[in-house]
Chain A
Amino acid sequence: MASAAAEFSGVSKAFTARGDAPAIENFDLRIEEGEFVCLLGPSGCGKTTALTLLAGFDRPSSGSVLHRGRPVAGPAADRGVVFQGDDSLMPWLTATENLLLGPRIRRVPLGEQRAIAERLLALVGLVGHGDKYPRELSGGMKQRIQIARVLANEPDMLLMDEPFAALDAQTRTHMQDELVRIWSEARPAVLFITHDVHEALILADRVVVMRAGPRSAVRTAFNVEAPRPRDRSDPRIAAAYGEIQRVMAEEFRRARQ
């Protein structure tokens, strides 16, 4: 079998400093090349922990995390991370400078950098806003800059940690459609974390539901067959929604016990 885009096997992560039970335990998940996976679960279930391990910001206590068959040794440009809030943008850089951070780090020639900036600003729909500073952009625009910043490195894997959670409903819907469009062009593998069932169903090839933490792991997974772009009122989506919602409600009750 060819190696997957990413593979967690038997991963546990304990934050020993707190002496608590491990956040995730025996966590297994395989993400295929070009696959869009949404990780869903009640808050505190270790979704972000899993993403952090794949990003390489932290190491598992036990088990292995592989990216394209190789153990994750640390953060690298081949796995782009879109952070939850906007505080990871550099407020002292303009939108363009922010999205060119990756090329700048890789010492891409300036002429090429300009071409990259133009292409990506157009891709995320921010032509004409490149000279603005993050503080002058709306929440949706800032998240687009984050996405563009990651795409500038042409990663084969996108890691997104509730990137749209802070946006208003209209903007969020729009951003979801945009993300699907951008993803279908470049086709990276995606691990997308959310607690919004609808969001997961609009975006994902596969929705993975986690158990309530601590000692969390994958509870179940659903394949979403509906073709993209998806209609939010598609009956297949509605049916899947009911089913996932039922599992989520169960986990939510368990989390409260």
Chain B
Amino acid sequence: MPARADATSPWRSVLAPSWSLGRGADPLPTFVWPVASAVLLAAAWSLAAGRFDVTVFPSPLAVAREAMRMAADGTIWEHAGISAARLAAGFAIGGAVAVPVGLAMGLSPFFRRMMEPFTEFFRFIPAIAMVVFALIWFGIGEASKLFLIAYNAFFSIAMATEMGVARVERSRINAVLSLGGSRRDTALLVVLPSVVPYILQGMRIGMGRAFATIVSAEILAANAGLGYLIYSAREFSRMDTVVVAIVALGLLGLAADRAFVAIARRLYRHTLPEEFGP
């Protein structure tokens, strides 16, 4: 049978269907694939950029040069730092409100039903739509941006917290009660440790949305931050600057996400809900 002969080939592990049996080791050293995909990406990019002007589609080389310049003169760090600080502060405010509210919603059905008309409705409204109210209420200063990020974080974290409480294993509560624990003991020994991974997961989801929100807010009304950097570069058609800022946003988002996963793994390496993936 041809399949049998095939099974001895090392290439089977990368070309055969992922569900086929007996996957062997990758025939290539580990660094090859990332390098190959980077080369592929750069080649496709160069090819596309070659057909356009730098003010429309900058080449990888032009972007790299611009990145070096912006790193050297500190522009990129300054704007990235401002965006990151807004995100962190807004997240802290939103989380500080969301966790108690989520816990209360999970623990008290009455309170949950009181909140539901809002949580169920407002979470479908893109946070950025609130920018119009935010600007009217808080002006174009920092407060409106913090409000937007906090607003954004609130829904993701409160919903995740509530879900975490709802998913607490009933038999663990019963176990603590039958070991002589009080309600307070069940809260400290069971509910809290069960919910923290969900809170982290909620922050992780909320962080992705918060990035989109902060960029829009900085485009619409700000004089610093990566969103502002992108939009102000438009006036001079500096597409290389725009791409550097976009990549910086991607890297910042990736770093934040990986940080959440690392923290969650560290704290809860034996109990992560499956949402965290492998």
Contacts and interface: CB of A to CB of B under 8 A. Distances in A.
**Is A–B contact present in the complex under a CB 8 A cutoff?**
yes
Contacts of B181: 101, 105
B180 interface: yes
B29 to A, nearest CB: 32
A92 B193 contact: yes
A6 to B, nearest CB: 14
Nearest to B171: A88
A77 B179 contact: yes
A85 B270 contact: no
A57 interface: yes
A149 B175 CA distance: 10
B120 interface: no
Contact of B179 (A56, A105, A134): A105
Interface in A138-155: 149-150, 153
A53 to B, nearest CB: 13
Interface string B164-188: 0000010110111111111001000
A183 interface: no
Contact of B190 (A57, A90, A150): A90
Given A79-B178, A80-B179, A88 B193 contact: no
A85 B177 contact: no
Given A74-B177, A101-B176, A90 B189 contact: yes
**Max chain A C-beta neighbours (<10 A), residue from B169, B175, B268:** B175
Contacts of B175: 81, 83, 88-89, 101, 149
Contacts of A135: 270
B108 interface: no
Interface in A53-112: 55-57, 74-77, 79-81, 83, 85, 87-92, 101-102, 104-106
A145 B169 CA distance: 18
A75 B178 contact: yes
A76 B185 CA distance: 13
B223 interface: no
Given A88-B169, A91-B271, A135-B270, A101 B193 contact: no
Interface string A107-150: 00000000000000000000000000111000000000000011
Nearest to A79: B178
A52 to B, nearest CB: 9
A101 to B, nearest CB: 6
B178 A105 contact: no
Nearest to B181: A105
Contact of B189 (A76, A91, A101, A134): A101
Contacts of A87: 169, 171-172
A153 to B, nearest CB: 6
Interface in A23-77: 55-57, 74-77
Nearest to A98: B175
A133 B179 CA distance: 20
Interface string B233-275: 0000000000000000000000000000000000010110000
A81 B182 CA distance: 16
A81 B174 contact: yes
Given A92-B193, A92-B270, A134-B270, A105 B176 contact: yes
B95 to A, nearest CB: 21
A134 B171 CA distance: 15
Contact of A83 (B174, B182, B189, B268): B174
Given A83-B171, A85-B171, A88-B171, A133 B178 contact: no
Contact of A57 (B169, B174, B180, B193): B174
Given A88-B172, A135-B270, A57 B179 contact: no
Contacts of B193: 90, 92
Interface string B215-227: 0000000000000
A169 to B, nearest CB: 25
Given A88-B172, A90-B190, A101 B270 contact: no
Contact of B270 (A77, A104, A133): A133
Contacts of B190: 90
**Max chain B C-beta neighbours (<10 A), residue from A76, A104, A105:** A105
A153 B176 CA distance: 12
26 contacts: A55-B174, A57-B177, A57-B178, A76-B178, A77-B178, A77-B180, A79-B178, A80-B179, A81-B175, A83-B174, A85-B171, A87-B172, A89-B172, A89-B175, A90-B189, A91-B271, A92-B270, A92-B271, A102-B180, A104-B189, A105-B176, A105-B179, A105-B181, A105-B182, A133-B270, A150-B179
